[in-house]
Chains A and B, each alone.
Chain A
Amino acid sequence: MAEITYLEGIRQALFEEMERDPNVFCLGEDIGAYGGAFKVTEGLQSRFGEQRVIDTPISEIAIVGAAAGAAHMGLRPVCEMQFIDFISCAYDMLTNYVATARYRAMLPCPMVVRGPSGGYVRGGPFHSQNPEAAFLHTPGLKIVYPSTVADAKGLMKAAIRDDDCVLFFEHKYLYRRIKEDLPAGDHVVPIGKARLAREGKDLSIVTYAATVWKALEAAEQLEREDGLSVEVLDLRTLLPMDDAAIVATVRKTNRVLIVHEDTRTGGIAGEITSRINEQAFEWLDAPVLRVTAADVPLPYAPSLEDFVLPQTADIVRAARQLARY
């Protein structure tokens, strides 16, 4: 059992699912001989051939639309967006065609749209985005965004096996920075279930993706310096959202800080806050607070990007405020 990276976890999931099920195939830009911009599909074409690992023109509408058509016919396509920023080019196809297919036409659309997401990498406005909230509002889609190697692999397998369209956000900052030993055998993580990343009793941080690691850093610092016991809930799946896990942590600590890397207005923190309001209002001892990116396009310069994105120090500051309330 060897240590593998987050990226290798995803690659292994693709490889194993393509071995397991001949209906699974990949399509995207530069994913074949080149192995993808980040090498997530490296080695797949030499193993499975050009028919199952398809290099496409620069056409996100066609990639997603063709995947939908193939999915209707019983195949299970996995689309790569070279950077998830480009998923907006296929927004119409995803929200109008794919997301409604089962409901309006009883047409199954089992497919995955995956891609490198997120900032902290000096990628600038068009190689750093977190567009998950833009799709949270669309019934018919599922959204996952793992933070660990085990979840990256296990959720990719679940996404490929799911009978509906799953948007699979991969955090590119985590691709090669985190490593884990994975248990042998078929590792599948169910969609729709959050993960308790750290247990605590004084306050809860609800988050997902790269900021899970910043929340864990903050929790350690708060314990060390303030004696606070901080719980960290990693949502893993954003749609459908694990309300039960959110309510459970609210009931336990009565104070909630929501952290995400995406911008604030219309971000997922607002939705989580509303659900807490509807389902656990009486259990709160303080208003729900949020730490997010500022409402600006993500700039390139390190000093600018670091200023805009949530940092560990921001989480610590907000958590202290919440604990004092």
Chain B
Amino acid sequence: MPAKRTPARDSGGVGQAPTGTGIPRITPGNGIAGGAAHDAGDGSTALTREQRLELYYYMRLTRSLEERLVNLYRQTKVVGGLFRSLGQEADAVGSAYALDRRKGDILSPLIRNLGSMLVQGARPAEILRQYMAKGDSPTRGRELNIHYGDLVRGFVGQISHLGDMVPVMAGVTLSFKMRGEDRVGLVYVGDGATSTGAFHEGLNFAAVQRCPLVVVVENNGYAYSTPVEKQTAARSFVVKAVGYGIAGERADGNDVVATYEATKRAVDRARAGGGVSLIELVTYRRKGHAEHDNQSYVPPGEIERWERENDPLDRYSRVLVERDGVTATDLGAIDARVQNEIDVATDDASAAPMPDGRDALNGVYADPAVADSLWFRSGVDAAVTTHERPAAWGTHDG
């Protein structure tokens, strides 16, 4: 198994200043990772017991909601593809938790960041209605899965073209800067998206403009079937920060607290006017690209090893019990609450109506608000037969 896909227990970091010409060393304790960076922003990344339990709640909600989606997918109630984040719940939840919703921070998730949307206030019923293409889903049946947004709650809907959300979030955070607002943006990309032109252009633009933006590279080992070694010749993704003249840090994406802390340092830096940071979160994608993918390209035993040795929920449960004095009963109560919420949401979403076909014509533009219906769908005769004819035309006389 390639070394870079082993569980990344040690988080290394890259120095903040783009002064040196040498390749930064990604070693534990190097650079900004660690206590020194706590001076930025509010000076603390400490979490209360209540907050630590809330992290657990969001991770459990992410996993259980996706498990429910699998059931609905097998019942063909999910009409499109299903994308899992099994094993990656910690990095999505921990990083999003570093934002401040009260200040109006905004993130843009990628396909495996359901957890980040839940942290920002997305609700299970919305997610289920999206997947089930319901008429009262957030996109009224226009878009799939978690592709939707809500600026009020602070998340912008992604599109399928990877990397595109980096320039868009550069613009969102540019608006924060132009208006002097105390807000920060965060955008997720995967290891694969770092190969796109949009990633490069957006990151460079944001860096030059010193936008208050955190770019999270979620390195889960694979882009569809392509392993990281075929995506980049760089030894890690965090080293790319040096080329853009921005701060960078690498953290263990399966450790929710480490993820939170690394992201919080970047968020504080952005809020303090320190510009863009690149955070590499090392994790592992235990399911295929989508539910249909049999993962035949994965070396035998790799998935099982990550499941056994580095499941983010197992790890975090142990930490809570061993270090924070949380009991199994406490965690069980959270699990039961999550299950209940998902059951209620499933009933709600199942009962929701599918959209009326004609709604497809609404809302392409503000003006005109409704697109023209095609004559063969309008219940009228062919357009040519409804025309008034000139009296002298050919063999017709009107």
Contact B387 A100 (CB under 8 A): no
SS class of chain A's interface: helix, strand, loop or mixed? helix
Asked if A61 and B201 make an inter-chain contact with CB atoms under 8 angstroms apart, the answer reads yes
Q: Bits for A260-290, please: 1 = Cβ < 8 Å to B, else 0.
A: 0000000000000000001111110000000
Known contacts A66-B174, A69-B174, A283 near B390 by CB under 8 Å: yes
Flag the segment in B228-236, B277-285, B333-341, B361-369 that touches A. Answer: B361-369
Find out whether the CB atom of A108 lies under 8 angstroms from the CB atom of B366.
yes
CB-CB nearest in chain B for A77: B171
26 contacts between A and B (CB under 8 A): A25-B178, A52-B178, A56-B205, A57-B208, A59-B201, A60-B201, A62-B167, A65-B166, A66-B168, A68-B168, A69-B170, A69-B174, A69-B175, A70-B172, A70-B174, A72-B171, A73-B151, A73-B171, A73-B176, A97-B159, A97-B168, A102-B363, A102-B366, A105-B139, A251-B390, A280-B387
User: B205 contacts which chain A residues (CB < 8 A)?
Assistant: 56-57, 59, 62-63, 66
What is the interface residue range for chain A against chain B? 35 or more
Given A57-B204, A92-B164, A100-B159, A73:B366 Cβ within 8 A: no
Residues of A that sit less than 8 Å from B by CB: 25, 51-52, 54, 56-57, 59-75, 77, 92-93, 96-97, 100, 102-108, 139-140, 142, 162-164, 240, 251, 254, 278-283
Interchain CB contact under 8 A, A65 and B387: no
In-complex Cβ contact of B197 among A61, A102, A140, A142 (8 A): A61
A253 nearest CB across to chain B (Å): 12
Alpha-carbon gap, A71 to B148, bound state (A): 17
A54 to B177, CA, bound (A): 13
- Complex partner residue of B204 from A52, A62, A163, CB under 8 angstroms: A62
Assembled-state Cα–Cα distance A104/B145 (Å)? 12
**What A residues does B168 contact at CB under 8 A?**
65-66, 68-69, 72, 97
Q: How far is the CA of A102 from the CA of B393 in the complex (A)?
A: 44
CB contact between B171 and one of A65, A100, A240, A251 (< 8 Å): that residue: A65
Look across to chain A and name the residue whose beta carbon is closest to the beta carbon of B207.
Answer: A57
Q: Does B202 contact A (CB under 8 A)?
A: yes
Residues from chain A with Cβ under 8 Å of B307 in the complex = none
Question: CA A51 – CA B159 in complex, angstroms?
Answer: 28
B149 interface contact, C-beta 8 A:
yes
B142 beta carbon closer than 8 Å to chain A: yes
Which residue of B175, B393, B394 contacts A74 across the interface (Cβ within 8 Å)? B175
- In the bound assembly, the distance between CA atoms of A60 and B167 in angstroms comes to 10
A282-B396 contact, Cβ under 8 Å, with A70-B171, A72-B172, A105-B139: yes
Does B366 lie within 8 Å of A107, measured CB to CB?
no
A65 touches B143 (CB 8 A): no
CA distance A278 to B156 in the complex (A): 41
CB distance B390 to A57 under 8 Å?
Answer: no
Q: Taking A105-B139, A282-B389, A283-B390 as contacts, is the C-beta distance between A68 and B171 under 8 angstroms?
A: yes
Could you tell me the distance between the alpha carbons of A42 and B271 in the complex, rounded to whole angstroms? 34
CB within 8 Å of A: which B162-197 residues = 164, 166-176, 178, 197
Is residue B23 contacting chain A, with contact meaning CB distance below 8 A?
no
Cβ contact within 8 Å between A72 and B167: no
> If the complex has contacts A62-B205, A164-B366, A283-B390, are A104 and B157 also in contact, measured as CB distance less than 8 A?
yes
- Asked if B198 is at the interface (CB within 8 A of a chain A CB), the reply is yes
Cα(A1)–Cα(B139), bound, Å = 50
Q: With the chains together, A68 CA to B139 CA distance in Å? A: 19
User: Is B134's CB within 8 Å of the partner chain A?
Assistant: no
Contacts of A68 in B (CB 8 A): 167-168, 171
A99 to B173, CA, bound (A): 21
Question: Is the Cβ of A51 less than 8 Å from the Cβ of B178?
Answer: yes
Chain B contacts of A51 at CB under 8 A?
A: 178
B384 at the interface (CB under 8 A from A): yes
- A96, B161: Cβ atoms closer than 8 Å: yes
State the CA gap A54–B174 with chains docked (Å). Answer: 11
- A60, A74, A139: the one within 8 Å of B364 (CB): A139
